[in-house]
Amino acid sequence: RLFLEKTSGASLKLVTQVTKRELKPIKKWQRLEIAFLQTHGFLLKSCSSFFCLKQEYFNHGTVLLPIFAEKFKFFFLMSPKTPKESVTILTDLVLPAETNPLNNLFGGELLARMDRACSIAARRHSRRIVVTASVNHVSFAKAVPVGSVVTVEAKVSRAFNSSMEVYVDVWIEDRESGLRSRANEGIYTFVAVDETGSPVPVAQIVPETALEKERFDGALRRKQLSLILAGKMVADDATELKALFN
């Protein structure tokens, strides 16, 4: 039989009755919320610091049944996440076939690399199919010469209903010193969809570092500006954007 062991606060983890070891196959479902389980009738009884789950949600006491997994899938997909959980780093070399007549990397080739990194970051955050909705900003600070080692770093800066803003930085590495310099940055917007292509909700972002908080706050202003330019929002309703001029 499986139990939920109380760890800290209202956090629980699945353990076996005999060994009290945490079950590895559960992965994202290792941490469950007591209040949520009690509200939805999953808890049968409690004994000391352990909570017993109703037997119908388990198969031979070792694996979760699909019905239990489905009930909790949406709950865990919507649990708030930090930007570092979506970090994606792609490192590659600039080859001659990818350059222009000046032997610098094609802008389109770099945009494609950025789009791939941002796509992976959005997918890691949402755990859904994601599609590119827009490229809000791209800045080419310096040329990327042939033979350069290019590193593209992307992570979700903010999530809204079904859309996610992904901030991407591009670095080039000096061959001799190994020092990195920023060559490019961009802001992409992705939308999470289901198998039919319909938008689905995504988890919210909880920024941690000062830079993450700065980008998180700026994301709402950028979204409001995009909505105004697209005619989908009245300027008077853009409270965050108006605050910049007050």
Cα–Cα distances in angstroms (integers) from residue 83 to residues 113, 118, 153, 156, 219, in the given order: 20, 12, 12, 6, 13
**pTM of the prediction?**
0.69
On average, the pLDDT of the chain sits at 76
**pLDDT one-digit tens code per residue, 188-241:** 999 999 889 999 999 899 999 999 999 999 998 888 888 888 888 888 888 887
Q: What is the pLDDT of residue 236?
A: 80
Percent of the chain at pLDDT exceeding 70:
69
Q: What is the helix (H) or strand (E) element at residue 205, kind and residue range?
A: none
Q: What is the pLDDT of residue 72?
A: 54
Q: What is the pLDDT of residue 76?
A: 60
**pLDDT one-digit tens code per residue, 133-174:** 999 888 888 899 999 999 999 999 999 999 999 999 999 988
DSSP 23: P
Q: What is the pLDDT of residue 43?
A: 45
Q: What is the pLDDT of residue 109?
A: 93
Sheet strands side by side (includes 11-16): 32-33, 11-16, 2-6, 50-53, 43-47
Q: What is the pLDDT of residue 176?
A: 78
- Rounded to 5 degrees, what angle do the CA atoms 44, 45, 46 make? 140
**pLDDT one-digit tens code per residue, 83-99:** 999 999 999 999 999 99
Q: What is the pLDDT of residue 228?
A: 85
Residue 40 has pLDDT above 80, yes or no: no
Q: What is the pLDDT of residue 6?
A: 46
Tell me which of 92 and 45 has the higher pLDDT.
92
